[in-house]
A and B are shown apart, each in its own frame.
Chain A
Amino acid sequence: MSPIMEFRNVNFAHSTRAIFEDLSLSVTESETVALIGPNGVGKTTLLRLAAGLLRPSSGEIRVAGRALSDWNRRELSCCVALVPQYLQVPFAFRVEEIVAQGRVPYSGFFGGLGSDDLEVVRSAMEAVDILHMRHRVFAELSGGERQRVKIAIGLAQQPKLMLLDEPTQHLDLGRQIELMALLKKLVGRGITIVAAVHDLALARENCSSAILLTPGAPAIKGSVKEVLHPELLERAFSVDQPDLERYLAAEPPARNITPGPEQIDESLVSLRKKREQEHRERLRHPGDDARCRGTARDVRHGRGWDRD
């Protein structure tokens, strides 16, 4: 298996603060890699470096066996898709129009979409199950739906490598599980996944390997089991071992009051079913729902996108 993404002795600094010093790591094809580490350690920066949006001050980054400096910008966008953490869209763009932007690197100077492009856009929307909402206005979608639209843009780029920045952030449990299942499906299509995640349990369940970034120490790459080792995590996140062990414990402490693992699984399943039921209801009455969500969002975000 050849490496799809490789960092060789990469140095990178934001103005004066060094983020990476002599960073070396490699990701092989069709891996699912969890990128973990404390806040501010440079997870997003690493993804942006790999996507060619930032240039390392020294060292070399290779994608599909070729140094990034040798890639044409558009060709690179056809090979590597970055799914950023946030997507907020001014104007009433529809889901379909948003996903179609994934074809931009394939289009010529005047940038029209051919019938094959439309087919790719369609199948990308199908893959993440948003085909039924393709005519809805993006700004009115819920968090989980937006997340899926973002992944559909990435899919429309037909990449070999997809870099996701905290794809499960702000999603409820059900949506998180759905999203990870979706990512697994993508790996089945031959796409290598590197995803920055905070939820270690989710990473352990769904990823084949992990990269751990520790402030002031070299990055560690290995299987999930190796990397999610309490000692390593303790150092990276600067937490006490007992806290960590409790967090990482495979089963919750057996007490009479707390439900056993089977019960949890069961309640999860029923919760999931209930959510799906609600979702179907929502689809049947889109009007009511849009109104409710609109007000809730207003309260949460205040002035909305223009503040960004």
Chain B
Amino acid sequence: MLLLLATITSVGFGAVRFSFAEVWRAALHPAASGDTGVILFSLRLPRVLAAGLAGAGLSATGVLFQGLFRNPLADPFVLGASGGAALGGAVAIFLVPSLSFAGIGTVELLAFIGSLLAMVIVWNLSKVGGNFAMENMLLAGFAIGTMLNAATAALELRQETTNSGMRILAAWLRGEVTAPSWSQLCFVAVVELVALAAALPLARQLNALALSEEYAAQLGVRVERLKILVVVTGSILTALAVSLGGLIGFVGLLVPHFLRLILGPDHFRLLPAAALSGAVFLIVADTIARTAFAPSEIPVGMLTAFLGGPAFLYLLNRRQRSV
């Protein structure tokens, strides 16, 4: 409900402003709406939907990774998964430029592989004697993320890349939601819904994993399989989100944190709630980002960094001091 409201209102905001009623009318009679329809449906709506999908993917990934690492600081951006996805996507644009704009999957596939590899590396580095050390997790995530971002930036500078490819890469590095084509949007939406549905039973098992790996195994959970599935699902969701919005940080940290205060820590309830709230959050944030400083737009990643950075530091400080 809130999601629908946020979508309609956000579509209305922009360089040319429409009222809620105008948007509603245009939605009901798409053929009769003329210029309004063009602006709304070809330019604004894809961007708003892209922001929603990216926000949902990042928040859901946050819940999954936090359950996996048993740590509320685990966010796809902090862990370097987003960086891996961006590099993978950049490689796709760079190596196969003709395919990458068809919208069907090359970028997403390589982004997924990049994100998965980044997670596997961070996972192995943060393990100390069978347990996760938080310092290692954060440092490994930071190092991997920075390296991958640098590599992506280097690819961006290559002269061979096409102009539109360069624009997309630049937007990714800034964390800016670009308006995707409808075919790309449909592809991402379908894959994302499937991934989210697949993540639900995993979320239930993450509650048992919260006790400890040994406990979960003792309770009949297949821990190794669970960990692999969570990493794969999280990487898919991250790759989809990055293909739409690039390096948007801290969404996967902020949204689950506030939901935990309201709903409690049960991952099974948290996951769908995080997907929905993440979508609303990023739609609103992106709308603010593109309208608040009109006529110039700021990337939404900048906005989430301003909000999420302090929240991250607050959580880190609380973790260090207490339970």
Residues on A lying within 8 angstroms of B by beta carbon are 48, 51, 53, 73-74, 76-78, 81-82, 84, 86-94, 97-98, 101-102, 104-105, 107, 109-111, 139-140, 153, 157, 294, 297-298, 301, 303-308
Contact = CB atoms under 8 A, between A and B. Distances in A.
B218 A81 contact: yes
Interface stretch (B106-114, B150-158, B186-194, B206-214): B206-214
Interface string B4-21: 000000000000000000
Contacts of A91: 72, 210, 260, 265
13 contacts: A74-B220, A77-B220, A87-B215, A92-B260, A92-B265, A93-B207, A98-B211, A101-B207, A104-B219, A105-B219, A153-B215, A306-B133, A306-B319
A306 B260 CA distance: 18
Interface in B128-163: 131-134
Nearest to B256: A91
Interface of B: 70-72, 131-134, 200-201, 204-205, 207-208, 210-212, 214-215, 217-222, 260, 264-266, 268, 319-323
B215 to A, nearest CB: 6
Contact of B320 (A73, A81, A97, A303): A303
A76 B212 contact: no
Nearest to B321: A298
Given A73-B222, A307-B133, A97 B266 contact: yes
A90 B210 contact: yes
A73 B220 contact: yes
Contacts of B320: 303
Given A105-B220, A298-B321, A307-B134, A94 B264 contact: yes
A91 to B, nearest CB: 4
A299 to B, nearest CB: 11
A92 B264 contact: yes
Contacts of B219: 77, 101-102, 104-105, 157
A97 B321 CA distance: 25
Give me the 10 closest cross-chain CB pairs, A-B, nearest first. A91-B265, A77-B220, A105-B220, A111-B204, A74-B220, A306-B134, A104-B219, A139-B323, A82-B218, A90-B70
A87 B211 contact: yes
Nearest to B266: A97
B218 A90 contact: no
Contact of A109 (B70, B201, B222, B322): B201
Contact of A294 (B71, B208, B322): B322
A88 B133 CA distance: 14
B202 to A, nearest CB: 10
A297 B131 CA distance: 21
Contacts of A92: 260, 264-265
